[in-house]
Every structure is written in C-alpha cells, then in structure tokens.
Amino acid sequence: MANHKSARKRARQNVKRRLRNRNIKSTYKTEIKSFLALIDENKTDDAKTSLPHLHKTIDKAQTKGVMPRNTAARYKSNLTLRLNKAVSQA
C-alpha cells in the first residue's frame, strides 16, 4: 500500500480510471459483437443504421484514451469493409 499522501491519491485515481476505461472498452466491444451478429444474420439494413453509432462509440473510446488513434481507424475501416462486403453479396 502507498505510504505518501500523493501516492495514495494516485492509487485512488488509478482505480477510478481503470473502472471508467473498462466500462468504455466493454461498451465498444459489445457493440462490435452485436454489429457483427447483424451481418452474420444478413440483416444489412439494421447493420447500416447501427454503423454510425458504432463509429461514434469507437471515436469516443479513442478520444478518452482507451484506444489508440490508429487502432480506432483500423476498427472503423474493417467494420465498414465487412458491411460493404455483406451488402454486395446480398
């Protein structure tokens, strides 16, 4: 356990930040799973409507520092490509 006042404060901050980051990460992972499930079920219209919300969630995670910028861009690009591929096959 931390002995100095500043170290105790830092430990408290780390707990808060870890919980916040875990919540944000869980949110975007859950949304990605539901989006991919829509594509697998050939519900491309629903997937098209949920894609902007998914991009917003990923952007928010990137803004908060949970996800690096290039990782967020890669996720958004790959998910959009998956949707476009599903739409063209349908």
Name the pTM for this structure: 0.88
Q: Which CATH number fits domain 5-89: 3.40.50.10890, 3.20.20.70, 1.20.58.110, 1.10.3720.10?
A: 1.20.58.110
Q: Evaluate if residue 49 carries a pLDDT over 80.
A: yes
Spatial separation of the C-alpha atoms in residues 58 and 53, rounded to whole Å: 9
Domain boundary assignment for the chain: 5-89
Closest CA relative to residue 61, chosen from 45, 76, 72: 72
User: In this predicted model, what pLDDT tens digit does every residue of 25-40 receive, in sequence order?
Assistant: 999 999 999 999 999 9
Q: Report the number of secondary-structure helices (H) and strands (E) in the chain.
A: 3, 0
